[in-house]
Structure 1
Amino acid sequence: MATIGVFDSGIGGLTVLHEALRQAPAHHYTYLADSANAPYGEKSSDWIAQRSLDLCHWLVREGCQALVVACNTATAEAIERIRHEMPAIPVIGVEPGIKPAVTKSTNLKVGVLATQNTLKSDKFNALLESLEGHCEFIPQAGLGLVPLIESGQIDSAEMNTLLRQHLKPFQAAEVDTLVLGCTHYPFLTPLIREILGDKIQIIDTSEAVVKQLARKLEEFQLLQSAPPRVIRFYSTSDADALVGLAKQLIPTAFEQHSIETSTVFIS
């Protein structure tokens, strides 16, 4: 029976888990939120790389046979090291959907909303350089957005004000396509559309990530589980709060699974 580990600095990876439950419901899932240390976006590269590796080792010890690094910042800073140290299992990362944005944009002006660390990472900038000349890319760090999302303030006046500030460069540049370069940000899609208008094309890579996961599960011959299927929610801060937000943000995702929760300390 396949058990898939999904980890993020907090609740952002729930967007990827939601898509995984839609595309591949016949598996067990272990979701780990490192909420005690969220957000990752402004921490040092070395700290993120080591912490991400530690969390992946913990998930494997908990029985996970495949891993999804459902955090753009952790992917940018740690994915190669994780894959190097864990060659026997599939490790799937996430990255901003720059490539699909190039094909989607009509006016060749693409906004990228991501964390500060993702935007300055070598992995992201190499991706950007590989597409140089295809589009005009306008990067913007979403400072302060993740803590508000983590605290459930998605529809708050404070979020509205802050998000409008971050979206101003995209409005000024008249982008027609916006890449969401953090797994937390898809929760803001309705508010983004309210501010930028319904014509804006929004690129969220969750679907592509889970398709890649499915290919790797088949390649590694990891079988689907028989009912009852389980989702285990772990948090380094408050597992009950994590599950509460999960039920609020993706309420229809758990119909085929039972839920277990635990708050954990991972050194």
Structure 2
Amino acid sequence: MPSDTFTHNTNAPIGIFDSGVGGLSIAKRISEHLPNEQLIYFADSQFAPYGDISNQQIIERVNFIADTLITKQCKAIVIACNTATVNAIDQLRNRVTLPIIGVEPAIKPAARISTTQKIGILVTQATANNARFLALVEQYKNGAQVFIQPCLGLVELIEQGLQTSDKFIHLLEQYLAPLIAQGIDTLVLGCTHYPFMSEAIKKIMPSGIELIETATPVSEQLKRQLIKHHLLAKKTSNLAHQFYSSSETPTQNKIFSQLWGTSINVELYK
């Protein structure tokens, strides 16, 4: 394992990773919220979605990517993946000393704003079955009814840039139907891929349903940690964010660029 000694270089990059493109929803918010920070984004596309691999495999991939980002002198790491967070963040924090920020479904704010006290959470299968996640639901639901909906297949389609396809919409309708039937008024997007389907959700759900995602809370927590450890970047210019993937496809650059909002080049890293 590479040395994880704290860097005191305030202009060192921030490492962000996900099983695929979903974490771009987090990275994009961080780039907006902390415009002086350089970002290194790692998509573990070869193993996406993490919901389809074992807990041990998730831990192995998280540790490999964290070690890679440490080798690249990152000053902090954001696990921009709900499944990776609930399965592997505790052991990673025991392995390394630099700040590790995870992402978890925003159950607490959802319970605070729900008037019907009926909350839906869209998650991957691995998150739905995770004991840490289920404990968080119990801890923060504040008496609300919480309906957990696993969404098999959605991540794979988003990875292919097919979130507006008929197949995707049909699948999404199937997953939202039982939540609509329960009368939820708040819907938590419990996977970082899911903000990319927000518009599709709004067209299917009744008006007035509040969508809750975690990009802003994660970027705010990252900023707090950087300030705490005196690592907030000084004003810089010509920031060059870097994007890596563990797999290479003909459409990868196009999909990344579409979700990021500007043209980017994704490099292969295995």
TM-score range, shorter chain: over 0.9
Asked whether 1:3 is paired with 2:8, we answer no
Asked whether 1:222 is paired with 2:227, we answer no
- Which of 123, 126, 131 is the equivalent residue of 1:117? 126
Partner in structure 1 of residue 137 of structure 2? 128
Partner in structure 2 of residue 170 of structure 1? 179
Q: Name the aligned partner's letter for residue 38 of structure 1.
A: A
Partner in structure 1 of residue 61 of structure 2? 51
For 2:148 and 2:29, how far apart are their aligned partners in 1? Answer: 26
For 2:120 and 2:44, how far apart are their aligned partners in 1? Answer: 28
TM-fit CA distance, 1:128: 1.5
Partner in structure 2 of residue 248 of structure 1? 258
Asked whether 1:140 is paired with 2:145, we answer no
Structure 1 residues 132, 248: closer, same or farther in 2, change over 3 A? closer
For 2:100 and 2:253, how far apart are their aligned partners in 1? Answer: 24
For 2:12 and 2:92, how far apart are their aligned partners in 1? Answer: 20
TM-score, scaled to structure 1: 0.93
- Which of 220, 230, 237 is the equivalent residue of 1:211? 220
Partner in structure 1 of residue 248 of structure 2? 238
Q: Name the aligned partner's letter for residue 121 of structure 2.
A: V
Query: What runs of 5+ residues in structure 2 fail to find an aligned partner?
Result: 1-10
Structure 1 residues 260, 193: closer, same or farther in 2, change over 3 A? closer
**Secondary structure of the corresponding residue to residue 49 of structure 1:** helix
Greater shift after overlay, 76-85 or 224-233?
A: 224-233
Q: Name the aligned partner's letter for residue 259 of structure 2.
A: L
Say if 2:111 and 2:142, in contact at 8 Å, map to a contact too: no
Alignment of 1:60-75 (within 5 A): 60-75=70-85
**Secondary structure of the corresponding residue to residue 7 of structure 1:** strand
TM-fit CA distance, 1:68: 0.3
For 1:157 and 1:231, how far apart are their aligned partners in 2? Answer: 34
Alignment of 1:179-218 (within 5 A): 179-218=188-227
For 2:183 and 2:120, how far apart are their aligned partners in 1? Answer: 9
TM-score, scaled to structure 2: 0.92
Say if 1:230 and 1:260, in contact at 8 Å, map to a contact too: no
Query: What runs of 5+ residues in structure 1 fail to find an aligned partner?
Result: none
Q: Name the aligned partner's letter for residue 55 of structure 1.
A: I
Asked whether 1:263 is paired with 2:246, we answer no
For 1:134 and 1:146, how far apart are their aligned partners in 2? Answer: 30
Q: Name the aligned partner's letter for residue 189 of structure 2.
A: L
Structure 1 residues 62, 100: closer, same or farther in 2, change over 3 A? same
Say if 2:16 and 2:79, in contact at 8 Å, map to a contact too: yes
Say if 1:11 and 1:242, in contact at 8 Å, map to a contact too: no
Identity across aligned pairs (percent)? 41
For 2:252 and 2:153, how far apart are their aligned partners in 1? Answer: 19
Number of residues paired by the alignment?
Answer: 259
Partner in structure 1 of residue 33 of structure 2? 23
CA root-mean-square deviation:
1.5
**Secondary structure of the corresponding residue to residue 41 of structure 1:** helix
Partner in structure 2 of residue 156 of structure 1? 165
Greater shift after overlay, 170-179 or 41-50?
A: 41-50
1:230-259 per-position Cα deviation (integer Å, ceiling 9, x unaligned): 11000011287444223212316x8xxxx5
**Secondary structure of the corresponding residue to residue 15 of structure 2:** strand
**Secondary structure of the corresponding residue to residue 94 of structure 1:** coil
For 1:91 and 1:118, how far apart are their aligned partners in 2? Answer: 19
- Which of 105, 110, 118 is the equivalent residue of 1:96? 105
Q: Name the aligned partner's letter for residue 258 of structure 2.
A: Q
TM-fit CA distance, 1:160: 0.6
Q: Name the aligned partner's letter for residue 202 of structure 1.
A: L
Say if 1:32 and 1:234, in contact at 8 Å, map to a contact too: yes
For 1:197 and 1:149, how far apart are their aligned partners in 2? Answer: 23
| Superposed structure 1 runs of 4+ greater than 3 Å apart | 239-243
For 2:162 and 2:155, how far apart are their aligned partners in 1? Answer: 10
Q: Name the aligned partner's letter for residue 54 of structure 1.
A: F
